[in-house]
Amino acid sequence: MHVVDVRGVTRRFGTRTVLDGITLSVDRGEILGLLGPSGSGKTTLIKLMTGIDKADEGTVHMLGEQMPKLSMLQRFGYMAQSDALYQELTARQNLLFFASLYGLSGGRRQQRIEAVMSVVNLLDDLNKPVAAYSGGMKRRLSLAISLLHEPEILILDEPTVGIDPVLRQSIWKELNSLSDRGTTIIMTTHVMDEAEKCDRIGFIRDGKLTAVDSPEGLKSRSGTDSIEQAFIVLGGGVRS
Amino acid sequence: MRTRALAIRIIRQFVRDKRTLALLFLAPLLVLTLMHFVFNGQHVKPHIGMAGIPPKMYDSLKIEGADLTSYPGIPEAEQALKDGNLDAVFSIVNGQPSILLEGSDPSVSQAVMLVLQKSLQANMKSIQPNISYLHGSSDLSSFDSFGPVLIGFFSFFFVFLLAGVAFLRERTTGTLERLLATPIRRSEVVGGYLLGFGVFTLLQASLIAWYSISVLGMYMVGAVGLVLLVNLLLTLTALTLGTLLSSYASSEFQIIQFIPIVIVPQVFFSGLFNLNAMQPWLQKLSTIMPLYYGADAMRGIMIRGETFSDIQLDIYVLLGFSIVFALLNVLALKKQRAI
């Protein structure tokens, strides 16, 4: 059974078709990167997977359950593209709030808050108001929040924007160890070298999934030696 | 659990935002104080010019509560009236008293008439009735009369604004989307907002009521608990209406645009102005205005000392408004999340 099973999904906003007949599946513990220019439909696809949005056609199954389904949100970790944080509150208060929404409390909550903040290297800034955080720190806090309840599927929308290379490496190390322990990770990105670290990459362009394969597979299929070249060849080439 | 977590978060945000706290708690007090001084000030002493009145008659007229100036003839007095030095000219020609009013300010005209009519009545030695009051007293000022309405209005207005803007911000900063990516129910979101804001609106209602009655000395013969209950229900209506309408606004500026559409009309139907003079079909509009019920109950309690059974209809209607708006809120959140 696939952890993520998207079949023939189409989503329209008014007359505009944002996603056009997408079929995609992801296995347990896999890291899937969705690569495409902004406006290609990556975020919409992610919202359909979480059940925040609903497909006009086709079905989405997550962990065997048909979406959208409220109780499934407990099993996902989600990091939105914009840093959805409460600026007036401290990092700890933000974490406490989201931890409570996921049903964590008491010592377990405390322990998880410290664990996720050490992953993103923000333990020393736990009691600072978020308004005093830099852009990169906010991204890291958003990531920490998505990890709080140890989700089975982690859905990350542009997770490493504004994060410096050293920290990006340590975050990738954590993502890899999560996937080794069975967490499925789906992320959007438009950074080519980041996509290369994923187990598989899906190319999205104008709402269509043009190719899904491992980085090596994509390169050999397109007869190129970089993901960027492969995207140009397999992603429909120069727009007509 | 989730509702409580949301309420705690809202309270924490509030406590850190000193300026908003000040708007919620101090602004109504400031406006009420200003109202108190404007409407509870000294009675206006009209300035009346006396023309063509023999000195003997002058004394017997016994005009009290006005500044009087004597003029030798009517033309001089009328000139002074034109120059803006007088509010009215009182003259007697061939035994027929006549009054010429300046007339641009009805309240001044009324004051002049009151003074002169009192004096004329005293001269006629007609039968003087004994005057007593069922509610209120001869000291009941206009501030006392519409104070209860104002208490309700300010609670309503400030909570409407704050709730609308707070919920809008939750949406525009992306935190609502993030919030809805957790397993929270839509009804829990609305409930959390009600609870978190409810704490502050209860405090606000208590503060405004205490300040008006104890500090400003507003006329009050009813039960304080009832005043608080009505005020709380009124603010809950404002809260649910504010968050509901914020779903249809895309910026803080658009929330402000709701004020002339949603708030101002309610002021006209709240009882500050007498509705009986209005077209009957227009009067019916008041039945859909929450402030009408709140103001009616507040006035009943504070001025007429009405009890729960007298105002229960108002209470049920306000409760109904809150419930309907809250349910519509839960529905409107569907726009943000499919389930």
Taking the CA of residue B5 and the nearest CA in chain A, the distance in Å comes to: 6
Does residue A182 form part of some domain?
A: yes
Beta carbon pairs, A and B, within 8 Å: 82
Taking the CA of residue A85 and the nearest CA in chain B, the distance in Å comes to: 6
Measured CA distances, B154 to A131, B21, B32, B143, B238 (Å): 32, 15, 9, 15, 11
- Please give the Cα distance from B5 to B10 (Å, whole number): 9
Q: Are B3 and A95 in contact (CB under 8 A)?
A: no
Q: Do A93 and B9 touch (CB under 8 A)?
A: yes
Candidate from B5, B8, B17 with C-beta closest to A88: B17
Pick the residue from chain A with its C-alpha nearest to B166. Answer: A86
Measured CA distances, A104 to A112, A129, A181 (Å): 9, 22, 21
**A14 pLDDT more than 70:** yes
Q: What is the helix (H) or strand (E) element at residue B316, kind and residue range?
A: helix B308-332
Q: Do A73 and B183 touch (CB under 8 A)?
A: yes
Which of B175, B186, B335 should we substitute to test contact with A (largest number of A Cβ atoms within 10 Å)?
B175
Taking the CA of residue B308 and the nearest CA in chain A, the distance in Å comes to: 39
Q: Do A80 and B178 touch (CB under 8 A)?
A: yes
Which residues is A84 bridged to in the sheet? Answer: none
Report the domain count for chain A: 1
**B144 pLDDT more than 70:** yes
Q: Provide the residue range defining the domain that includes A225.
A: 71-234
The length of chain B in residues reads: 339
Q: Are A153 and A75 in contact (CB under 8 A)?
A: yes
When pLDDT is averaged across residues B78-100 and rounded to a whole number, the result is 85
Tell me which residues of chain B, numbers 163 to 182, contact chain A at a CB-CB cutoff of 8 Å: 173-175, 177-182
Measured CA distances, A145 to A9, A77, B118 (Å): 29, 8, 77
CATH of B47-124, one of 3.40.190, 3.40.50, 1.10.3470, 1.20.950: 3.40.190
Does residue A222 form part of some domain?
A: yes
pLDDT score, position A31: 95
Pick the residue from chain A with its C-alpha nearest to B338. Answer: A53
Q: Do A70 and B12 touch (CB under 8 A)?
A: no
Residue of higher predicted confidence among A75 and A168: A75
- Please give the Cα distance from B98 to B89 (Å, whole number): 8
pLDDT score, position A239: 47
Q: Are B157 and A59 in contact (CB under 8 A)?
A: no
**B277 pLDDT more than 80:** no
Q: For A170-174, B183-187, B311-315, which range has the lowest pLDDT when averaged over its residues?
A: A170-174
**A238 pLDDT more than 60:** no
Q: Do B9 and A88 touch (CB under 8 A)?
A: no
Pick the residue from chain A with its C-alpha nearest to B169. Answer: A86
Q: Does B19 touch chain A (CB under 8 A)?
A: no
Give every CB contact of residue A28 below 8 A, 6+ residues apart in sequence: A3, A182, A184
Q: Do B181 and A86 touch (CB under 8 A)?
A: no
Q: What is residue A182's three-state secondary structure?
A: coil
pLDDT score, position A235: 74
Neighbour-count burial for B110-134, b at 16+ CB within 10 Å, e otherwise: ebbeebbeebeeeeeeeeeeeeeee
Does residue A165 form part of some domain?
A: yes
Q: Do B180 and A80 touch (CB under 8 A)?
A: no
Q: Do B337 and A101 touch (CB under 8 A)?
A: no
**B246 pLDDT more than 70:** yes
Reference B221, options B151, B153, B271, B148; nearest CA is B148
Looking up tokens 């899937």 gives A32
pLDDT score, position A108: 94
pLDDT mean across residues, chain B:
87
- Ordered by start, the domain boundaries in chain B are 2-39+141-335, 47-124
pLDDT score, position B126: 62
Which residues in chain A have their CB less than 8 angstroms from residue B170's CB? none
When pLDDT is averaged across residues B39-53 and rounded to a whole number, the result is 78
Q: Do A101 and B183 touch (CB under 8 A)?
A: yes
Candidate from B8, B16, B180 with C-beta closest to A88: B16
Which residues in chain B have their CB less than 8 angstroms from residue A82's CB? 173-174
- CATH number at A104 reads 3.40.50.300
Pick the residue from chain B with its C-alpha nearest to A83. Answer: B174
Does residue A10 form part of some domain?
A: no
Q: Identify the top-confidence range among A90-104, B13-27, B199-213, B266-280.
A: A90-104
Q: What are phi and psi of A57, to 5 degrees?
A: -135, 155
Reference B294, options B153, B135, B120; nearest CA is B153
Q: Do A70 and B174 touch (CB under 8 A)?
A: no
Q: Does B13 touch chain A (CB under 8 A)?
A: yes
pLDDT score, position A237: 52
Pick the residue from chain B with its C-alpha nearest to A81. Answer: B174
Q: Do A84 and B173 touch (CB under 8 A)?
A: yes
Q: Do B13 and A129 touch (CB under 8 A)?
A: no
**B101 pLDDT more than 70:** yes
pLDDT in tens, B248-259: 998 989 999 999
- Using pLDDT thresholds of 50, 70 and 90, give the confidence band for residue A8: very high
Give every CB contact of residue B123 below 8 A, 6+ residues apart in sequence: B60, B61, B62
Q: What is residue A192's three-state secondary structure?
A: helix
pLDDT score, position B284: 83
